Each structure stands twice: as structure tokens, then as C-alpha cells.
Structure 1
Amino acid sequence: MSDVDVEPGLPTPSDDIPPPQAPAQAPPPPPPPWWQVRLPNALTGLLLLLMSWFVIAQGRFHGRTYDEYMQDDYGARVLKFYLSWGEDRSFLDFPDYIYMPQHGSGAEVIVAFFQHLTGEVWQTRTMVCGAMGVLGILVMWLAGREMAGPWGGFAAALGLALYPRYTGQMPNNSKDIPLAGAMLLVLWLVLRLMRRWSQPDRKHEVLELAAIGAAIGFAASIRVTSLLWFGLLGLLALGYWVRNWRRLRGPALRAELSNQFSAAIVIAPTAYLVMSLLWPYLLTNPGDGLKASISSMSKYDWNHDIMFAGSWVRSTDLPWDFAPRWLIVGSPLPVVLLTLAAAVALVVALVRRQTLDGRLLLIGAYIVVPILMVIVAQATLYNGLRHFLFVVPGMLLLAATVLVRWVRQSFDSGRAVLAWALIGAAVLGQAEVVVSSARIYPYEYSYFSPLVGSYDRGHLNYENLYYGSCTRAAAVWMAENYQQYTDEANPTFRDENQWNTLAKADLPDNFVDIGDGQPLFRITSGEPGAGYREIHAEVLLGEKICRVSVLDPTVY
């Protein structure tokens, strides 16, 4: 009973108070339309499948370069170092003038590990190198998605897959293609960290920082150039203080200093640890190994004449515009135009002090800083843009980001005509890339922009074919047709375009390679020479790029 008398039939005091209600919850947002998320993700999955098929089915047609013999030997020797628990140090026994131990071994030892598992050398190498290239496209999707959502991810991944000087090297380059993917991995992780930096309860912070350090270490174990990431991170920290120093006081200031100091003490040691584990030259030379590598790579001793902009120039004394010009003439036109447009937009926004995404500035620095370093250091460069190919994913990411954002803004503001015009221009530009690549397949690495007359005129004024990659096709032809020209059980040959070992991999076991004297068959890039008759030539758009010749019977 209540101790309050209530007249029957009258409401009690509690009847006037409604029962407590649960707080109203906002209805969940409707799922995005299928064309905003599911379609670009499905297209990206299809693209990755197509690129995987490309490596498996077409990789062998892209030939081998004479760099591969040395790189493959280097990787095998480094693997022996690990398998012998450091006893076998034959990876140090290369001639001094090629500085092979000073080259990072991170990608080569991965290739050697899979060769160890399969027991086969060259096909395994082609597949593993190609797989690294496909992984680079996957990372590009992650970076594009980070910057511009699912369509940004697809646009960025497609841009890299259709970049001929990337795709054309995937099966036969265990240095520059893995480096581009590793540097892009660092870029994605840093962009992700920038977005999450100010979140109040960021989980797994140490793991994120350690992942960045490990990615830098892996990239540096491929080429020591990757250590420039510490300069980029320094610029990122400087930019943060320039932008935020006015509002940071007291506890907030101390917290930010602690966060940045913690980041430094996690990233730097992790990077050096991973770099050392994948690059035993640092383990065997802990005192000055890193310094010697930086010194030898910055002024590499390769002193030869190369064709550039219609003139012969010395690789050790290049004009200042070598790198930026190569990025223009060796890249598809839409990539160049969108990158320049984005750069102009960023500069205008900075001058007008407009609010902008700081991550775009980092991508811009990722493109500009390495090029400035090449110019200032007067680095030794050759083979087109392959030594700074890692800059290209930054250009593609910036181009894809601004394209998708501008298209989205145009649709949102009711300017559908402008949006479709941007999409149409990008599609037409990439159609030119596909057609030009198909014309020179499987030598896509020799792609030139329409600005310099595509391959037809570009190869007359710039370096084109990369290190005898046409030799494999010549060797395959010789293996299928040699019996028309000799009855010898063990015909001799010499590959004068690269290494005998590389050609022998595609010849029957009865062929004998010789280094001196007069072989029965020769593979050359130029004229066959006195006493020999040309019997076959690999032809690219009417130009003979590799020749097979046989010793003339009257001389033989």
C-alpha cells in the first residue's frame, strides 16, 4: 500500500508521468547505389584478374634483359648467405666496378627463394617479377581508394595497368618494378596515417607506424634511394607545424610532440631492421655499408653515350631536364595533363590560402622531391625513365584523384556535361595508349607520347629498347628453325646482344655456346658481319631490332 491516500477512480501521481522512452536512434543511412561502390570494386577485381592472366600467358613474350643475368646471380648468392646461416658470402665476390653488393637485394632474394622452391630459374623469375607488378597495381588501388573512394581506386589502378613503361617491364625487371610498388606502399600507408592522425582513439597506432617503417625498409632494400622517405616525412612534419603552431599550446603541444617523437622512434629503427635483414651487405658491413651504398648509387660508374632529345649525351653529364622531360615524353598524355592541372590547382589554392587536403601536397612532394634530387645530384641515369619510375605512381595517383574529384563535383553541381567531357577525354587518352602499346607489343616499354610523334619518331630521338629484350624472340626462332641451316648435332652459337646464358635458356640442350672464335649462329642487334648471312630478323614497325645469322658455307 502506498502511504498516500488516493481517491478511487482518480489518477495517481505516477499516471501523469509518461514511462521513460529509449533515445531515438537515427535510421541507418541507405546503402550507396550499386554504381558508386560495387561497380568500381568489381571492375578493379576484373582488372587484377586480367593483369594476372597477362603475366601468366604473355610474360614470356617480353624477353629478358641482360641485366637479368647479373641480378639473378646476385639473388641466388644472397639466398645462399641465408641458407648457410651467413657462412656463404659469395654475394660479395662481384667485380668492383659493377657495385653489385651495394645494390639492394630485397626483390632479388624473393625471386631466388621461389626459384629454390620450384627448382627452375627463368620461367619462375618471369612469374615472380610479374606478380610483384600486379601487387603494385593492387596497392595503387588502395591508395586511389584512400584519396578518392572506389572510383578513385579503380581509376588509379587502371592508370598504372595501362602505363606502358610499367606493364612492359613487369615480367623482366626485378629492380624498378618492385621498387615502384614498395614506394607506393609507403605512400598509401602514410596517406592513411595522415587521415587518421587526429582521431581521438586511434587503435593499433604502433602497428601502423611499424608498418610504415617496414615498408620503407623493404623499399630501401631494393634501392637505397628509398631512404628519401625520411626527408619526405620530415617535410610532412614541418608542414604540420607551419599549419598548426598557433593553436597548439600546453597539453595539446606536449601531446603532439610526444606523438611525433614516438612515430620517429618506431619508424626509423623498424626501417633499418627490415632493410638489413633483406640486404646482407649491411649485415656484413655494419659500419660503412649504408654510406658506401648511397655514395656509389648516387654517382654510379656507368659512363656511356645515350640518345636524348635528338643528341648524344653522356650518362654522367646529363642536361638538367633529363628526368622531367622523360616523364613527359614517356608518359601518356592524359597523365601529364592531369598532373600539371593538379599542380596548378594546388599552387593557386596555396596562394589564395584556401583549405585543401594536405595529402595532395604530400603526393606532390613525392613527385617533385626525387626529381629535384636527381637534378641537384647530377645523378647517372640511362634506359629512359626506369631509374625514377617510382615517381610515376605518384603522378597517376594525383591524376586519378583530381579527375574523380572534379567529375564528382561537376555532377553534384549540376554540370553533367562537364563531368562527361572529363570522362570522355580520359577514355580517349587511354585509348591512344592501348593502340600505341598494341602496335609495339611486346616492347611496350618503348612507348612514347604523341607529343614526340609516338614510337615512330620518338625512338629516333630517345633511347628506346631496353637492354636486348628482343634477344629471346630471336633465340626462340633459332630453336625452331636451326635445322634448316645445319645438320650438326651440336651447333655453336654466340649471343652478342646480351649473355649466352640467357639465349641458351630458350635453345635446345644440344646447342653449345662459345665466347671466342666463329660460332655457327650469331644473335646480334646490328649487321651480322663478314662471313655471316642473315637468316632472320625481329622487326618492330619496319625496323630490325634483333638479327639471327649463320656462318656462310663458303667461309665455314
Structure 2
Amino acid sequence: MVGAFFGLLALVGVLLHRDYGVPWDEQIDRLNGIINAKYVALHLAPELAKREENFATIPDMSQNEDLDHGVFFQLPLVLLERVAGVNDTREIYFMRHLVTFFTFVAGAYVFYRLATWRFASWKLGLLGAAALVASPRFFAEAFYNYKDLVFLSFFTLAIYTLLLLLRRPTWQRALLHAAATAAAVDVRSMGIILPALTLGFLFLEASFRPLRRRGFALAALLYLPLSALFIVLGWPYLWENPLSHFAAAFLHFSRYTYESSTLYLGQQISILHLPWHYVPVWLLVTTPVLYSALAGIGIRALLRDALKAPLKWLSTTEGRHDALFMAWLLGPVLAIIVLQSVLYDGWRHLYFVYPAWLLLALRGVQAAQAGWQRATASTRRLLRVPAGMLLILGLLHPLYRMVRDHPYQNMYFSFLPGTVAHQLFERDYWGLSGWQGMAWILRQDASPHITVGTDLRTRTIVLLNSRLLLPPAERARVEVVPSPKQAKYFMTVYRWHPAPYPPSYGREIYQIQVNGNKILSVFRRPD
């Protein structure tokens, strides 16, 4: 069953990966990989690099605007383009989407192993992996979110290798965990919290297993320098000046100063001044209700055991594992709240804590099962049908929405109708719907030359990115114009402009709605 589940998941990726558009940052992320590839080539084979056809047009590392983003994932994707001989942008981005989804599948399998180990049940492990996949926003973004979903997969791997190290501290496991830590950090610098988690829980484990203290101490001494070495090796930007460059990258990430706004609870607010409840609210409104309810039950059961007899709770392996999962979930969230770090585009920067949320939900399943067994026979008979119906509805509703909303599962809101959600929260901030709007225009208009415009701030995401996935012949027919007044068609994804457009923009001839939430409109401009 496990093999069938993950085999089917990989097949779904093959069948669906061409259905998703190019998101806002994908061109920038690919360029970051190309710049780093040039930098590496100049250090390893300079003469060969200079013979490349496009060598002179590729910016140098000093001109890279994305220096704070590691390229552990982006650099191999660029090399894969070359090895596969893919040149057209349409095929390049489809290939990238497929590889990204396969990375998510691998991450889901690691999560299965992690949950199976913690709960000593492959059934609960598979249930947890299925819940991760059947989280609509995560499923959609697994195809194109190279930062947050890839980071989620590598961070989950690092937590798994940490548990291996805590179970038996050997130099091989310290080496493996150092490599996993470096992979996570070299995708997102937020991974630097992994050494803190590692040292803290190595100390905790040594406190309750005195016979292994020497092994834990040696593992820590080996892990730290190896992690630093691997981080530098996997991030070319750090090669020349590791300490200062990493400090600059992390500071830029944690103290992002770009002035922008986001729609939150019906108000346009600065991303530099988000309220403390921003992350908890976004988590709850985008996570299936059943998962959140079970996570609440799991947290309650965990806190009950922890507060009732803290030392007894921590003296068990399960208790220390649960403490790690709570630290995984709450540590980053509290750090964001206390440090007032910048977030935007929902809560995607903290997606990597979602597996911890699901592990607590599985803890809730255990607690609910125990409570069911303690209930009287009459109570079980009374509740069997309604409880079963609620469980079935809670499990099937996310799957139903994933099928119905395809390929816009990224617009999923758990309990908010679309007509309410679009008034309170950002819509298609990835800009994926622009591709479908562009394709519709080309199907309806046979003109050899078509001009399309949009808002200035969303020009890149809505139009330029959308053209990348068109067949070459269709791509040549479209001209992206800087001003809507010069365009035959005006297209919008309503980012930074949630209100309706005035009649001067023309007549609306096409729109895309997801669960009643309008995410794209095409207007025919007045002649």
C-alpha cells in the first residue's frame, strides 16, 4: 500500500505538471541558478565557461540581486536543462515543475518514515503523508514553489536525520545530519535554526541517557564544523567570504525592508508592520478543518502529559520526540512574532512548520482513539454514525476541492466561502491564472499581432511570465505593452487592486473564479 501510494503520487505529478503556470519569482530563481552556474564554471573551468554562447549576457555574481537565496536546488536544475538539451522556455519550465514535484514526493516519503517511527504504525505514517499531500495549497505549490515547498522537504529530512542521531550518536549519523542541515540552509537561510535544535536536543537526550553522553558530545563536536563546511560548499556565494556573506544573507532575509502591502482581514497593511496574529490566522484559514481540529486535540494531550509530570514525560523517547515537534512548530512562529520579521504572500515563509502541525494532528488521532476506547458502549453506539460522517466529510472535502479547483488549489480556503475570502485575503498572488487568460485570448483572437496590457506593478507576473509557457508560434503573436491604453486587451489578477475596475478599462469578456472567488479578468479595451 505504501509503494502504491507513492507510485500513484509520482504518476499524478507526471500527468498534471503541465497544468500550472509560471509564478512570480520563477524567472528570478532560474536566473539566480544561471548566475551561480557561471560563477562555479569560472572557478572550475574558466576557459570552457568563456566559450559558452551566452556567457557575456549572464550577469556576474556581484550583480546578483538574489544573493541571500541559496542555490542548492536551483543550480542542479540549471545543469539538468543543459544535460537534457532543453532550450525552449515552455519545456524548461515544465521540466522544472516536474522535478520540483518529485522533490515534494521524496519529502512526503521522509515525512511518512518520520511519522511511522514516532507512532510505531505504518498506517498512521501513511495517513500523515496522505494529509500532507491532500492539503490543497501545498499540493499546488509543490509544482512551482521552489523556495518554500522544497525547503519544507529538506527541513523534514533534517529533522529525520536528527532523530537518527538522537537515537544512536555515531560519526556516520553526525555526517548525514550535517549534510541534511546544509541542504536545508542552502535552500533557505532560515534553516540555520537546525543547529540550535540539534544542540538543544542532543543536550536533552544526554541528560536522560547518561551512558551515551560521551557519544552525544562527540557527535555535537563533529556535527558543527561539518555543517559549516557543507553549507559553504553548497552555496557558491559564500566561497570567498563565508562568515560575512552568510551574515549579510541572513540579515537580509530576516530584516527584509522592501515596502509593500498585503490584503489581510479586509485591510491593505504594510508587510513591515504585520499584526502578531497574521501567521496563526493564515494557517487556520488555509488548512483543512479536520487537520486543525486533530492538531488541537494533539496539542491538548501533549500539554496535559507535559504539565502533569514534566520529568516523567521527558524521560520517555516519545515525550522528547513530541517536545522536538513542538519546538519545530512553535519556535519559528514565535520568533517571527517576537522579532516582527517580514512575511508576505500568505504564510508561505513558514510552510516548513506544517509537517510538525500534521505530526501533532496524528498525536490527536491517537488521543481520540484512546478517548473512544474509554467511552461506554452506549456512548460509542450513539456517536458512531455522526462521528464517522464528520471524519469522512473532513477527509474527502479537501480532495473534492483539489479536483474541482484544479489547477488553482493555491486558492483554497478551508471554511471561508470564496466571496468572503476575496474581501479578506490576497487572491492569486502567484499570478498563475495569467497563463490561462493569455491562452484564452489567443484562442478567441486569430489576429497575427495582439497587444495585451495590465497594471504596471503586475506586468512581469501576469504577462511576461505567462508568455513563457505558450508554444513559440503563439508566443510570437503576443506583444506586452507597458500601458493599458496601448493594449487591445487588459488582463488583471487583482493583486494590489482588489476593487472592480471602472468602465474605462473596457468590457469584461473572460474571468476565472475559484469557489466563487474571482482571480482573473480579461477586458476588451475600447477601440
Q: Does 1:122 align with 2:93?
A: yes
Q: Does 1:83 align with 2:65?
A: no
Aligned to 2:355: 393
Q: 1:110 aligns with which of 65, 72, 76?
A: 76
Gaps of 5+ in 2: 50-57, 495-500
Bigger drift between 166-175 and 85-94 goes to 85-94
Q: Does 1:539 align with 2:513?
A: yes
The within-5 A match list for 1:187-198 is 187-196=159-168
Aligned to 1:503: 466
Residue type of the partner of 1:127? Answer: L
Q: Do the aligned partners of 2:329 and 2:357 also contact (CA within 8 Å) in 1? A: yes
The within-5 A match list for 1:12-31 is none
Q: 1:155 aligns with which of 113, 127, 152?
A: 127
Structure 1 CA distance, aligned partners of 2:372 and 2:412?
A: 33
Q: 1:432 aligns with which of 397, 400, 404?
A: 397
Aligned to 1:524: 492
Structure 2 CA distance, aligned partners of 1:475 and 1:93?
A: 35
Structure 2 CA distance, aligned partners of 1:472 and 1:210?
A: 44
Secondary structure of 2:445 counterpart:
helix
Bigger drift between 219-228 and 107-116 goes to 107-116
Bigger drift between 232-241 and 388-397 goes to 232-241
Q: Do the aligned partners of 1:330 and 1:385 also contact (CA within 8 Å) in 2? A: no
Structure 1 CA distance, aligned partners of 2:37 and 2:374?
A: 55
Alpha carbons of structure 1 residues 46 and 233: separation in structure 2 relative to 1, 3 Å: same
Secondary structure of 1:155 counterpart:
helix
Alpha carbons of structure 1 residues 215 and 533: separation in structure 2 relative to 1, 3 Å: same
Alpha carbons of structure 1 residues 79 and 427: separation in structure 2 relative to 1, 3 Å: farther
Structure 2 CA distance, aligned partners of 1:347 and 1:542?
A: 39
Aligned to 2:5: 47
Aligned to 1:27: none
Q: Deviations over 1:189-226 (max 9, x none)?
A: 222333345xxxxxxx2221111111110000011001
Deviation of 1:272 (Å): 2.1
Secondary structure of 2:25 counterpart:
helix
Aligned to 1:235: 200
The within-5 A match list for 1:107-256 is 107-118=73-84, 119-120=86-87, 121-148=92-119, 149-196=121-168, 205-240=170-205, 243=208, 248=210, 252=211, 256=213
Q: What is the identity percentage for the equivalent residue pairs of Structure 1 and Structure 2?
A: 21
The within-5 A match list for 1:475-490 is 475-483=438-446, 486=447, 489-490=448-449
Alpha carbons of structure 1 residues 435 and 454: separation in structure 2 relative to 1, 3 Å: farther
Deviation of 1:241 (Å): 5.4
Size of the alignment, in residue pairs? 486
Q: Deviations over 1:489-510 (max 9, x none)?
A: 3434446544244222233143
Aligned to 1:74: 32
Q: Deviations over 1:87-128 (max 9, x none)?
A: 578353547xxx511112222123222222222421111111
Bigger drift between 337-346 and 404-413 goes to 404-413
Q: 1:367 aligns with which of 310, 329, 353?
A: 329
TM-score, normalised to structure 1's length?
A: 0.80
Secondary structure of 1:503 counterpart:
helix
Structure 1 CA distance, aligned partners of 2:502 and 2:42?
A: 45
Q: 1:343 aligns with which of 292, 299, 309?
A: 299
Q: 1:292 aligns with which of 245, 248, 263?
A: 248
Aligned to 1:279: 235
Gaps of 5+ in 1: 1-41, 198-204
Structure 2 CA distance, aligned partners of 1:123 and 1:493?
A: 24
Higher relative helix content? 2
Structure 2 CA distance, aligned partners of 1:423 and 1:94?
A: 58
Structure 1 CA distance, aligned partners of 2:505 and 2:336?
A: 46
Structure 2 CA distance, aligned partners of 1:62 and 1:237?
A: 42
Q: Which has the larger radius of gyration?
A: 1
